[in-house]
Structure 1
């Protein structure tokens, strides 16, 4: 058979929920085009039911992931970076088509994203030393503050930065022990859906990251109102949608991260995203002859 007569095997993109690759329960898809308008793929158009399923998966995974040692989480995140490093060519092609970049420009973006993932992997067992510590008190007590993960975090990924921005909002959420439900860029979801394939073949437990493709407005509303979602990152929402979701999130006092301006994902990320979804637990422990029992607040 000549090569010219061979049929191409087109890639089927699917959601990543609970460690598996389902299609949307609604059966809906939408077309994704490159920066020039050329068709690239049909991807699932996630429904509210898909969003609820993703929250269930994230909640189920939270106990094991938040209970793992910080060192172990760092090793798992580093393994993801290793897998990304091995698939740089694929991601460079997807980023180039999604963002209208040259091959060399896209390659630099992908390398920056891999480096960003490694950077956050290195912080998993160090962030507690920065934001926690022993507090001076008047009395025979130890007073210790330690950071703990908030819980299930809904993340509206950046609309324009389809891979570096995506990594920059996912990695800090899970590095600190949270689990995530991610709504990929509506216009350029392919790098996010491919990231799901990398996560599935790394050591990351199923459900820690769940990736949905579709409309931010359609999926953001049920996630912001969901009583089992503890926090929401509105980076990928426009001003009108962000305001609407903030109001919905107030119903169960979700933590809300709403950037004041469009983030520069190429800049030094700092620690703001690592600390955005952490809670501080303070423990009082008596010293000396008062005994061994303590109390936490």
Structure 2
């Protein structure tokens, strides 16, 4: 029997639940920590970024209106699928971050646990971020959190999987949709995450993953009028400043970059970063049954 040829993996973008190549046709070389070639990743263009925003906006209505329980079940199912493909992610994280297989396994386990942790918050965040407000007069006054909308996420550059999970999961757990710009140096775990999401129950467009040059993709997303917020975690100081200025054009919510240890307890600040508060006044007694919100 003749020796068979290996089938090399072709990494693609994940946009709108599908796997397109970059519309520009460009790719760039991804190497490991020792500069050995790993794969060619798509080099996203501004057109790819705009397509991702369209997909995220289209998915927002259904995802934001899904029950918190349903979102939690979908996210937990994704964690089950990540567990089933753990060996693949261990290999990719090991190559991306220059870790031994045993240390990469610890990182991947932590990332899956982090995803489960955020899945558990979907039906609890309303109690944390909302509540009844005391008012003078015969009214109930209730504040409830609602998702901001389409969120651009600049993924961490160095933490290719645990950091990636830590910035995506809270965005979608609270009902937002995401356009993720993967780590420029280590995009392969992010692109493989897209394969998991595509075969889960997560609706297409809720998460869209782009790879390429961070400084090339992000300016058009920061200035995009249909993007409601941006997480600058993976942007360096100069790029973050420029993106924040561009984001001010339509008053986007901005999560500024800050030192972070992704292995530490994440807290709830990322869950509340991209939530709006709706306040509802409802008359009591004989004033009527209709209410108003502001």
| TM-score in same-fold range (> 0.5) | yes
Residue correspondences, number: 294
The normalised TM-score by structure 2 is: 0.99
Which of 267, 271, 276 does residue 274 from structure 1 map onto? 271
**Shift in Å at residue 231 of structure 1?**
0.1
* Counterpart in the other structure of 1:83: 81
* Counterpart in the other structure of 2:280: 283
* Counterpart in the other structure of 2:95: 97
* Counterpart in the other structure of 1:146: 144
Distance 1:263 1:6 in 2: 46
* Counterpart in the other structure of 1:167: 165
Structure 2's unaligned 5+ residue stretches are none
Which of 219, 225, 232 does residue 234 from structure 1 map onto? 232
Task: Please give the secondary structure, in 1, of the residue aligned with 2:276.
Answer: strand
**Shift in Å at residue 182 of structure 1?**
0.1
Task: Please give the secondary structure, in 2, of the residue aligned with 1:229.
Answer: coil
* Counterpart in the other structure of 2:60: 62
Q: Matches of residues 158-197 of structure 1 in structure 2 within 5 Å?
A: 158-197=156-195
* Counterpart in the other structure of 1:201: 199
**Shift in Å at residue 6 of structure 1?**
2.1
Distance 2:169 2:40 in 1: 27
Q: Matches of residues 44-63 of structure 1 in structure 2 within 5 Å?
A: 44-63=42-61
Distance 1:292 1:107 in 2: 56
Task: Please give the secondary structure, in 2, of the residue aligned with 1:123.
Answer: coil
Structure 1's unaligned 5+ residue stretches are none
Task: Please give the secondary structure, in 1, of the residue aligned with 2:120.
Answer: helix
**Shift in Å at residue 194 of structure 1?**
0.1
Distance 1:218 1:64 in 2: 30
Distance 2:163 2:108 in 1: 11
**Shift in Å at residue 294 of structure 1?**
1.1
1:241-294 Cα distance to aligned partner (Å, 9 max, x none): 0000000000000000013x3211000000000000000000000000111111
**Shift in Å at residue 44 of structure 1?**
0.3
Task: Please give the secondary structure, in 1, of the residue aligned with 2:13.
Answer: coil
The normalised TM-score by structure 1 is: 0.98
Which of 254, 257, 262 does residue 259 from structure 2 map onto? 262
Distance 1:135 1:227 in 2: 34
Task: Please give the secondary structure, in 1, of the residue aligned with 2:51.
Answer: helix
